[in-house]
Amino acid sequence: MPRKGSLAFPTKQRIAENQRKMCAVDGCYSPRSYTKQYCRKCAHAFQRHGHPKARAIRPWEYAAIRKLVRSLLKQMIPEVHTDALATMAECLEPGREVKRNLFNPKYHAWKERLRLQVNKVKIPLALEHALSVMVMIAEQPRRFPNRATEVRAVGRAVLRLVPYYHATMWDDRKQKNVSLQRRQPAASAFDVVGADVFRALWPLAKQLARRIEEDRNKRNEEIARRYREQQHAPQP
Ligand SMILES: [Zn+2]
């Protein structure tokens, strides 16, 4: 008899059978991974971003939105801006220490918030990034297939502002410092922090999104009007 838990006959066969099937995602034709219903890539996306078709949001993707958000924040009533900053600071406050338990999302969230605090994250910067991603969510709903994806994108945008923990060691052969360990925060930390930020700042983000859209429409109309005038101007 094979030992319990070893990759012996039944499991091995199950894996072999499963790997002959296609990924469960529409339009993905890769073979499934181990005993999962998704292929390797889709399973990874599901675990990290909350949906097999979701992908990471990179800062350069919302750089243009961030520029607009920054200028709008400057034009805002000072009290509203201070309020938003205070809310953001509250969301990133680590609070009381949580006992180490890798199955407790609150432990991971506490650890990541502590990392931000120790590395002195800039609250205005965090506010800008979080609001920009939320404006992106309001503008491009197709990019975020479900709520988990939205929440994780917001959490990731905030938690990636200071470098992830890693230890370095001098490598004689390569003649440079090599990173021993580079860890991403646990996905559940994105969930907890992202949900807090999302709940607190979504109304403001929606306002900003509406404002940005109005400004854009106004500018487009202005350009169209000028173009029309040029077209119908009497020829000299
Ligand atoms: Zn797939």
- CA of 54 from ligand 1 middle (Å) equals 11
Q: Where are the alpha helices (DSSP H) in 20-167?
A: 40-49, 63-75, 78-91, 105-118, 123-139, 147-159
Per-residue confidence (pLDDT) for residue 7, from 0 to 100? 58
- CA of 31 from ligand 1 middle (Å) equals 8
- CA of 56 from ligand 1 middle (Å) equals 16
The residue behind tokens 């990636």 is 160
For every residue of 176-205, DSSP letters joined together read EEEEEEE-PPPHHHHHHHHHHHHHHHHHHH
Q: Count CB neighbours of 175 within 10 A.
A: 7
Query: pLDDT category, 179, cuts 50, 70, 90?
Result: low
pLDDT tens-digit map of 124-178: 999 999 999 999 999 999 999 999 999 999 999 999 998 776 666 777 888 887 7
Which residues have beta carbons under 5 A from ligand 1 (an ion)? 23, 25, 28, 30, 39, 42
- CA of 41 from ligand 1 middle (Å) equals 6
Give the pLDDT mean for 13-31: 89
> pTM higher than 0.95, yes or no?
no
Q: One-letter amino acid identity for 198?
A: F
